[in-house]
Structure 1
Amino acid sequence: MDKHYSAGIDFLRAFAVIGVILYHLPQYSFQGGNQGVTIFFVISGYLMAKNASYAYQKNQFSWIGFYKKRIKRIYPFLLFSLLIFILIAGSIQIRMLGNIKSELPSLLFGYNNWWQIHEKVSYFDRFANSSLFKHYWSLAVELQFYLVFPLFFLTVMRLSRKRGYQLMYLLTIISILTSLLSPFSIAYYNTFARLYPFIVGMFGFFNRKNINDVISSKKVTKFWLIMSCLTLAVFIPLPSFTGSSLLVSVLTMLLLVLINDKEVEKRTKIAKFRLQYIGKISYELYLVHYSVFILLVNIAPKMNPLIELVVVLIMTVLMIAGFHSFMHLKRKAGRYLGASLVAVAIGMIIFAPTNRLTADQNELKQELSSNLKKIENQPNQKGNILFLGDSVMLGAYQELEDTFSGQATVDAKESRQISSLATILQGYPNLADYSTVVIGLGTNGIISDESIDEILTQLKDKQIYWITIKCPEGWQESVNQKLAELPSRYKNVHIIDWFSHSKDHPEYFYDDETHLNGEGRSVYAQLMKSVLSK
């Protein structure tokens, strides 16, 4: 075993990847699980600073050696996973390959996060046509940090200690400000907005002795106390995503410093949890699980949630095992098999029918962008009806305007989730002047009873009309079931059953089976009018 191996670090990796997996499974309400990515970034910053410092002290630090190690660690499984998922998607339902022709270079060359920003992809709009590789954005951020790390590290090492720390503080502040000031959909992917967890990790290694001096007594107790705080920070996130990420970064850094002490690692009995085995394959688990989930959503959207979780885990483990088996094949046989698979995958990419899908996506993007500008420029209040919704309602903005003759206010936005509505309603301009509120939310993920109750308490003096959802997602049925139960609990709540009205009419929808085309938007607006006129 590597003398520098740490079961504690693999314990943290396992914790992080479990959080991410639970976040990606929509039936489970682990809203902060995506902070597992932040934990990975902090660990990367800490370990790179550690390994580079030891090499630098021995005068053995090499740019080429650094890049070579990262390429050997990252690319074999990256290429394997891309190849296998392209083959599976192409064999089962080739439209799942989506924009693979333009997406693939971004996956291979480490700029997928910027590609998703350019394509205006929301990480929180998880539809049936979601890319199999949407979650690879974080790998791109990691690769970009690897690219600049040698220069950054050598600069810090060659400056005085004070100047080096000042540089790290400055970049951390710039990164946090970028995260705070950028639109959330951009900040989520932005490399600069994601830089501070790496630097926090580096700072933890450089200051490990000072930190250890501060927490010199009862380290085991403090480890579990901080671990408990980290668990709460991940699974009960702060309202501010940047605030949550910063808190998770600092807590992770403290845990890394503590667990670097072999005596603490031993006394915490971390190895007893056996999570280090998950931590060792956390990179592979991260790359595979979400793609498997997207495949299942397309193939069997109504699968039982528990069965879905089991299938995702089994398929993920089988694929990782397949990769390691492939790597142990005799070289000649491996080359022949690999060449054959690559040839088939290239054929699928070439013949993937992306033009029509891209045309639909472009048309929808233009409509949403145009409608959002209209909403931003409309008066604060029109009429006594307020529509609050997500991108489905946003797409139908003009039809709602025309149908209600400009006597209703439509406030809709891409990626809006039910969990954000209570905050939106606080201090909403002229809210008291609306007698009726129509809510069209639930498409982007599961909804909790707590969120619903908080919203309906704020709107208790108004007539509420909640629109059921139609989307090919595993949470569709559970969301609509929750909505159907509301009128029995709240006398002022009514349901507009868009699901039943549209489920047998695929001609109403774009290819994603969620957003509405021209015919669907007209029918949608007319349904709103007929129900509200009763």
Structure 2
Amino acid sequence: MKKYYKYIDVLRVIACLFVLLYHLGLSKGGYLAVCTFFVMSGYFTCKSLFKNEKVSLKKYYKDRFFKIYLPLFVVVLLTIGVVSLIPNVSWFNLKPESTSALLGYNNIWQVGASLDYFSRHINSPFMHLWYISILLQFDLVFPFIFLILKKLGDKLGKSTPVVITFLVSIISTVYFYKVSLNGSTMALYYGTFTRMFSIWFGVFLGMVHHYYRPIIFNNKKLSKIIYFVYLVILIGMFVTVGYDSKYFSVAMILASLISMRLISYGTVDVNVKNETNFFGYVIKKFSDISYLVYLVQYPVIYLIQYSGLEGFKKVSLIFVLVIVISIILHIALDFKSSKYKKIRCLLVILVGCFMIYGGLKFAESKDHTSEMKALEKELEENKKLVNENQENYQKELEKEREDLDKILSELDVDKDKLMEVIKSFPIIGIGDSVMLGAINNLYEAFPNGYFDAKVSRTDYEVDDILIDLKKKNMLGEPILIHLGTNGDCSRSCKLQIMKLTEGHEVFWINTTNLDYVNEKLKKYESEFSNLHIIDWKSLSKGHDEYFYSDGIHLNPVGRKAYTEVILNELYNYYMNEYKKKQDEAIGKYEEEQKSKITFYGDTLLLSVFQNFKSEFSKSNFITRDKFSYSDLMSLISESIEKKEITNRVVLMFDEDIKVSEYKEIAKMLEGKDLYVISVTNEISELSKLENVKVIKLDVKNNKDYLMADNKHLSKTGKDELTKLVSEVINNE
């Protein structure tokens, strides 16, 4: 009669449930339950080989095929068939991943493909099959190792295989721990040799139980108590010790050791007659389908994520589907049972149809590994280019600020020395008797100037003076004219004067006696940008002390005031010019900043970086492999605080940022132009926001825009998106 160990089944069921809970994100340490399965696999494989005096490799591999490989084969092809029937399900690794699962090297493939089991992002239905691959690899070679150990035990004594397996367990554990200190989490978790320590724990335990006996208390009641104490501790670890814990590797070793003790104590309660109560019946039935539960859970979770369900409804549906599908497959594959023959036939036909369809889809599917590797290489190269661009952008930003500060600083220095500079001007003065009266004061104020003033002079004489000065190369800057007291000249005369003074700043002092001359002069000022009126009439009004009795010619007080007015007017003009230059410099800087764009995005943006860079050369690009909402908000806030935020901001993400989060970002960037690029995500409602423009690439009707992963853009997609973004941004 076959022995039945109820408490071993309890351990198996609990481990199975916690693996499922972990995959659903409901148990922090459920990954540790895999250690329990590894120990149990090592133990029962070893024990099964001891059952017969002579080991039959044919029988062993046949048993492993029907028990381990056939269910795996069925689930893999069944999953491919079902997934292929569901639209909008993206699984671009179908070919290489399914091949690795069927050929037993999925753990190795996952390390190479950089699939992170702990990322909680379900991008494959077979992310859990690394465990089965390690089992298959172990099952392939262990019978030969066992034969050697058994022979050594027969010749050298029963302690020999026990000591050897103990030493191998210790060495493999040390190796695992060493890798945990120096290696990556993925290599540690997926590696065949790193995970082998748990299996060797089980093999060592199997050797001890065969050659000696379980190392436990003889008191059956006490043994049960100890069993449940260990079980509670193990469950506590399943609940509390996350993969990000600093005790991650220690917890895996401890979980394996506790599993050994549980197996030892679990073998105390033996039910030879296979009699059990309802609870025991449920445990046994669940234990019978536990392997299938493990196989089907990830495919179910993978498919349900596309249903849109969340929370309790999602979890409940997954649980129900996992159990129902496992039961169906158990009935279909239980060829030894005489029960449910008709149902089994129908199920075999149904499952077989899906498997055939899945097999055909598997055969016709393409391996996009080389394409994805090329993308991976491109992304890595673009990361370097983005980093270089950020450095250059910051350097350029700093240089622009330094240049502006330098210009403003130089202008500030010039302003401080402006009066000295004005007094040193090689000014040219042409005037009548009014200027003549103040000529000594003018020379005192402008020692480098040249003044030509004459009694009763009119505007008509100015042409000849200017021509003569030009010939002598004496026409300096600026030109000061005070004529009109003795009457005006014709328009052609004035135009000739302005023609001869072209390229020079002309300061014309108006008269105190002839208003019509002054009125005409104002009109000429609006006509010529280099003509500036010094309103002597207004500035001298009410100052009778400046003039002799005629109200025109200047007395000594007036001559001094006259000279000061000229100096002040020149100072004010050139001071305004300096301010204009400052404003121009600041305006130019601000316009340059306005023309800049900041791009934020994940690998989607990273993949089109070179296209965008060629189109928007003076832009800043900030990318991450994964970009959380909080990261993005933090970066934008920092840019705003540093006053580095550009007037135009472009966001390009896969589906990491939600619509509600985009709205918060738009609120933060109020007053700025925000462009949100939509490739596979649906964010059209953002267009309702005043400062947001959604740029939608139509990938739905243009499948050639996307690569095999249905996420990143092909060359055609990149070119089209670049053209689209350029049109939208540059035309606004």
Does the aligned pair in 2 maintain the 1:46–1:203 contact within 8 Å? yes
Q: CA separation in 1, counterparts of 2:266 and 2:621?
A: 58
Q: CA separation in 1, counterparts of 2:257 and 2:387?
A: 38
Residue 129 of structure 2: SS of its match in structure 1?
helix
Does the aligned pair in 1 maintain the 2:227–2:265 contact within 8 Å? yes
1:307 Cα deviation after fit: 1.5
1:378 Cα deviation after fit: 12
- Which residue identity lines up with residue 131 of structure 1 in the other structure? S
1:277 Cα deviation after fit: 3.0
User: Does the alignment pair 1:92 with 2:91?
Assistant: no
Among candidates 234, 238, 246, match of residue 238 of structure 2: 234
Structure 1 pair 71–405 and aligned structure 2 pair: CA distance change class (3 A): same
Corresponding residue for 2:168?
A: 167
Structure 1 pair 169–373 and aligned structure 2 pair: CA distance change class (3 A): farther
Among candidates 295, 298, 311, match of residue 290 of structure 1: 298
How many residues end up aligned between the 2 structures? 464
1:13 Cα deviation after fit: 1.6
Residue 134 of structure 1: SS of its match in structure 2?
coil
1:134 Cα deviation after fit: 2.3
Structure 1 pair 333–413 and aligned structure 2 pair: CA distance change class (3 A): closer
1:174 Cα deviation after fit: 2.8
- Give 1 or 2 for the bigger CA radius of gyration: 2
Does the aligned pair in 1 maintain the 2:601–2:651 contact within 8 Å? no
Structure 1 pair 483–145 and aligned structure 2 pair: CA distance change class (3 A): farther
- Which residue identity lines up with residue 319 of structure 1 in the other structure? I
Instruction: Kindly indicate whether structure 1 or structure 2 has the higher relative contact order, using CA contacts under 8 Å at least 6 residues apart.
Output: 1
Does the aligned pair in 2 maintain the 1:468–1:483 contact within 8 Å? no
Corresponding residue for 1:115?
A: 109
Does the aligned pair in 2 maintain the 1:103–1:112 contact within 8 Å? yes
- Which residue identity lines up with residue 155 of structure 1 in the other structure? I
- Deviation track 1:466-493 (CA, whole Å, cap 9, x = no partner) reads x999666xxx79x98899999xxxxxxx
Scaled by the length of structure 2, what TM-score is found? 0.52
- Deviation track 1:52-96 (CA, whole Å, cap 9, x = no partner) reads 3x32xx523333222221111123322222232222112223864
Equivalent positions of 1:378-397 (< 5 A) are: none
Does the aligned pair in 2 maintain the 1:205–1:257 contact within 8 Å? no
Corresponding residue for 1:532?
A: none
1:246 Cα deviation after fit: 1.2
- Which residue identity lines up with residue 287 of structure 1 in the other structure? L
Among candidates 48, 56, 67, match of residue 61 of structure 2: 67
Structure 1 pair 497–59 and aligned structure 2 pair: CA distance change class (3 A): farther
- Deviation track 1:281-308 (CA, whole Å, cap 9, x = no partner) reads 111011111101111223x2x2132222
Corresponding residue for 1:366?
A: 377
Moved more, 325-334 or 36-45: 325-334
- Which residue identity lines up with residue 37 of structure 2 in the other structure? F
Q: CA separation in 2, counterparts of 1:519 and 1:200?
A: 57
Structure 1 pair 471–303 and aligned structure 2 pair: CA distance change class (3 A): farther
- Deviation track 1:366-392 (CA, whole Å, cap 9, x = no partner) reads 234435677999999x979xx999867
Q: CA separation in 1, counterparts of 2:28 and 2:617?
A: 36
Structure 1 pair 165–36 and aligned structure 2 pair: CA distance change class (3 A): closer
Q: CA separation in 2, counterparts of 1:333 and 1:228?
A: 42
Corresponding residue for 2:229?
A: 225
Residue 239 of structure 1: SS of its match in structure 2?
coil
Structure 1 pair 101–250 and aligned structure 2 pair: CA distance change class (3 A): same
Among candidates 120, 130, 142, match of residue 137 of structure 1: 130
Structure 1 pair 125–233 and aligned structure 2 pair: CA distance change class (3 A): closer
Among candidates 228, 244, 251, match of residue 244 of structure 1: 251
Equivalent positions of 1:222-371 (< 5 A) are: 222-236=226-240, 237=242, 238-262=245-269, 271=279, 274-298=282-306, 300=307, 302-327=308-333, 329=341, 340-352=353-365, 354=366, 361-370=372-381
User: Does the alignment pair 1:34 with 2:31?
Assistant: yes
Q: CA separation in 2, counterparts of 1:499 and 1:211?
A: 65
1:47 Cα deviation after fit: 1.5
1:337 Cα deviation after fit: 6.3
The gaps in structure 2 that reach 5 residues or longer are 154-159, 334-339, 396-598, 666-673, 685-695, 700-705, 727-732
- Which residue identity lines up with residue 304 of structure 2 in the other structure? L
- Deviation track 1:199-245 (CA, whole Å, cap 9, x = no partner) reads 12223344464742599994333322222221122221333432221
Does the aligned pair in 2 maintain the 1:7–1:271 contact within 8 Å? no
Q: CA separation in 2, counterparts of 1:261 and 1:376?
A: 63
1:18 Cα deviation after fit: 1.3
Structure 1 pair 324–30 and aligned structure 2 pair: CA distance change class (3 A): closer
Structure 1 pair 521–227 and aligned structure 2 pair: CA distance change class (3 A): farther
The gaps in structure 1 that reach 5 residues or longer are 422-435, 440-460, 487-495, 527-534
Corresponding residue for 2:2?
A: 2
Q: CA separation in 1, counterparts of 2:283 and 2:662?
A: 39
- Which residue identity lines up with residue 315 of structure 1 in the other structure? L
Structure 1 pair 482–322 and aligned structure 2 pair: CA distance change class (3 A): same
Does the aligned pair in 2 maintain the 1:106–1:115 contact within 8 Å? yes
Does the aligned pair in 2 maintain the 1:43–1:198 contact within 8 Å? yes
Residue 317 of structure 1: SS of its match in structure 2?
helix
Q: CA separation in 2, counterparts of 1:270 and 1:367?
A: 59
Structure 1 pair 10–192 and aligned structure 2 pair: CA distance change class (3 A): same
Structure 1 pair 256–340 and aligned structure 2 pair: CA distance change class (3 A): closer
RMSD of the alignment, in Å? 5.2
Q: CA separation in 2, counterparts of 1:147 and 1:483?
A: 53
- Which residue identity lines up with residue 234 of structure 2 in the other structure? L
- Which residue identity lines up with residue 11 of structure 2 in the other structure? L
Structure 1 pair 131–437 and aligned structure 2 pair: CA distance change class (3 A): same
Corresponding residue for 1:150?
A: 143
Identity across matched positions, percent: 24
- Which residue identity lines up with residue 134 of structure 1 in the other structure? M
Structure 1 pair 413–249 and aligned structure 2 pair: CA distance change class (3 A): farther
User: Does the alignment pair 1:202 with 2:203?
Assistant: yes
